[in-house]
A and B are shown apart, each in its own frame.
Chain A
Amino acid sequence: MSFFDKLEKVDPRLIYLLVFFIVSLPLIRPLGLPISMSPMTVAFYDAVEKVKAGDVVVVSIDYSPASSPEQYPQTKAVIHHLVTKGARIVGLGFWADGTPFIDSAFKDVLGKSKDHPKYGTDFVNLGWIPNGEVGMKALGGDVHGTCPKDYYGTSTPTLPMMKDVKTGKDFKMLITLSSGTPGVPEWIRQIQAQYGVTFLYGVTAVSAPGVRIYFPAQAAGGLEGLAGAAEYEVLLIKYGYTGTLAPPMDSQSLSHMLVIVFIVLGNVGYALKKYGKAK
């Protein structure tokens, strides 16, 4: 095998090994690379900044544990920001295996969920709603009917803040943290378009190109992947939020560089071989 062939056909096991080290090292010893700002994150932040105390904001957890390393930090940061703005938060989810994250996020940000003294007045957890887009339609038409009980089994109409939250018209803002279907397009069709609710999204990096098309007409901003969450954490420092994503972003930086190095090597091998053959 010639040198050019070797450049073109690196053993995948070597790539796996290098990726492992490149991803692991910054987690052990962070590099501290500065985190830049994307316009989508800034737009997201600015939209949440406009929330007034008492506004009802729905936060929907539409992801599964698979994407939780990317999206749970988004969830915590969003809840923290909304709490500092004094919003009344309605947590719910359309992904059955994602709903426990609502409870975890409230506990991580506020210390407690159901046992918190402000549960029911400042925030609620309505849990999982079945049937995807049809469920969203039903939620917009009748919140109490679609979620007769909250996540903990309490009757929804008896929760003080839910007395003012009966249909989609009562939502001031809707934030979906989504990694697939049902997610951004479904929420836009059933709630944003029909009730004129300010809509924001947090998605995985791989979903970002597909949902960017809704900005700025339907979506007022978005957090795109781990990078978006890390940028958002930086913006929340002024509210005392302590982020955790700087080391993972260093890992991402190095892994991107590694992929680029291998792409360049592969193409050098390909070009030299082709050029050599032509000669």
Chain B
Amino acid sequence: MSSTIRRSLPLVITFIAGLLAIGDYYFKVKDFNDFITQWMKFVNIAAAFAVIIGYVTLTRIHARRLSQRREGWYNSVALLVGMYAFYLLGVVFSEGKFTAHPAYTYWFNNLYVPLDATIFSMLAFYIASAAYRAFRMRTVEATILLVSAVLVMLGRAPVGPAIWPTFGPLTSWIMAVPNSAGMRGITIGIALGVMSMGLRVLLGRERGYLGPGA
């Protein structure tokens, strides 16, 4: 395959795929919409195969770390054992029930759920410490942020309204008016950026996704 085709073919495929997806949104033509529905299912199936690529890549990276005894190699052992143990439970030994198999469910509920939830819950400690360090009345903006944070913290826990019932409505107002106004502005800005980037990708002006040198 010549280098021109190798460079142009992905751009042509991206352009056609993008136009089809956009067209499905704006044109209600039964045959065309049905075709897109079938195509989406194909994309779903293709994406599921990415799991295999993920398995191969992770195995290669961590097997190399392990064989070279790099720093933290024991973490790689834990990852590989965990990954393949759940693969065996959920696929090989699942008798066709996959993640619905009782053995998988048992280990999921008694190993993965507590571990993952514990890691996430440790955020409470870090957030408490970080809030204490970060919230200083250094500037007017920082003071507004601090006051809002304290009001929302009080309003979103039962203790706030128990101290003063207005903390609840005040928090609701902060969330519904200043917070939503700011977030809507940010979201609309992001949406415009995404549209602009999408157009650049469709027209082949943005080629970063093709890899280096594209």
- Could you tell me which A residues sit within 8 Å of B by CB distance? 10, 12, 15-16, 19-20, 23, 33-40, 64-69, 97, 99-100, 103-104, 114, 127-131, 134-135, 137-138, 141-142, 145-146, 151-153, 194, 205, 208-210, 212-213, 215, 224-225, 227, 249-250, 252-260, 262-263, 265-267, 270-271
**Minimum Cβ distance to chain B for residue A272 (Å):** 12
Contact of A262 among B44, B132, B160 (CB under 8 A): B132
B109 and A100 contact, CB distance less than 8 A? yes
A-contacting 9-mer, from B4-12, B62-70, B116-124: B116-124
Contact of B117 among A19, A20, A66 (CB under 8 A): A66
Q: Which residue of B lies closest to A69 (CB)?
A: B117
B96 and A153 contact, CB distance less than 8 A? yes
Q: Which A residues are CB-close (under 8 A) to B108? A: 65, 100
Given contacts A15-B128, A33-B159, A141-B36, contact A135 B116 (CB under 8 A): no
Q: Which A residues are CB-close (under 8 A) to B81? A: none
A-contacting 9-mer, from B72-80, B176-184, B203-211: B176-184
Contact of A259 among B48, B132, B160, B165 (CB under 8 A): B132
B48 and A12 contact, CB distance less than 8 A? no
Q: Count of A-B contacts with CB under 8 A?
A: 183
**Residue among A131, A227, A249 with the highest chain B CB neighbour number at 10 A:** A131
A153 and B158 contact, CB distance less than 8 A? no
Interface flags, B127-146, vs A, CB<8A=1, else 0: 11101110111100000001
Bound complex: CA A36 to CA B171 (Å):
12
Q: List 28 A-B contacts (CB under 8 A).
A: A12-B129, A16-B129, A33-B158, A33-B159, A37-B168, A38-B172, A64-B116, A66-B116, A66-B120, A69-B121, A100-B99, A131-B48, A138-B43, A145-B37, A151-B100, A194-B25, A212-B176, A213-B183, A215-B180, A224-B156, A227-B157, A252-B158, A255-B128, A256-B156, A260-B150, A263-B135, A266-B135, A267-B137
A65 and B112 contact, CB distance less than 8 A? yes
B44 and A131 contact, CB distance less than 8 A? yes
B97 interfacial contact with A, CB 8 Å:
yes
B47 interfacial contact with A, CB 8 Å:
yes
B59 interfacial contact with A, CB 8 Å:
no
B14 interfacial contact with A, CB 8 Å:
no
Given contacts A65-B113, A145-B41, A260-B154, contact A253 B159 (CB under 8 A): yes
A225 and B125 contact, CB distance less than 8 A? no
Summarize B's interface: helix, strand, loop or mixed: helix
Q: Which residue of B lies closest to A230 (CB)?
A: B158
Nearest first, the 3 closest Cβ-Cβ pairs linking A and B are A141-B37, A253-B159, A138-B40
- Could you tell me which B residues sit within 8 Å of A by CB distance? 25, 33, 36-38, 40-41, 43-44, 47-48, 51, 96-100, 104-105, 108-109, 112-113, 115-117, 119-121, 124-125, 127-129, 131-133, 135-138, 146, 149-150, 153-154, 156-162, 165, 168, 171-172, 175-176, 179-180, 183-184, 187
Q: Which A residues are CB-close (under 8 A) to B127? A: 259
A210 and B183 contact, CB distance less than 8 A? yes
**Minimum Cβ distance to chain B for residue A103 (Å):** 7
Given contacts A138-B37, A212-B183, A259-B132, contact A19 B125 (CB under 8 A): yes
Q: Which residue of B lies closest to A194 (CB)?
A: B25
A68 and B113 contact, CB distance less than 8 A? yes
**Minimum Cβ distance to chain B for residue A39 (Å):** 6
Given contacts A100-B108, A146-B44, contact A249 B157 (CB under 8 A): yes
Query: 8 more A-B contacts (CB under 8 A) besides A253-B157, A263-B149?
Result: A65-B112, A97-B112, A127-B100, A152-B97, A212-B179, A227-B156, A257-B159, A259-B132
**Minimum Cβ distance to chain A for residue B74 (Å):** 23
**Residue among B40, B48, B137, B158 with the highest chain A CB neighbour number at 10 A:** B158
Q: Which B residues are CB-close (under 8 A) to A137? A: 40
Contact of A205 among B41, B156, B180 (CB under 8 A): B156
Q: Which B residues are CB-close (under 8 A) to A99? A: 99
Q: Which A residues are CB-close (under 8 A) to B124? A: 19, 23, 255
Q: Which A residues are CB-close (under 8 A) to B132? A: 10, 15, 259, 262-263, 265-266
**Minimum Cβ distance to chain B for residue A172 (Å):** 21
Q: Which A residues are CB-close (under 8 A) to B161? A: 34, 36
B44 and A134 contact, CB distance less than 8 A? yes
A262 and B184 contact, CB distance less than 8 A? no
Q: Which A residues are CB-close (under 8 A) to B99? A: 99-100, 127-128, 151
**Minimum Cβ distance to chain B for residue A159 (Å):** 15
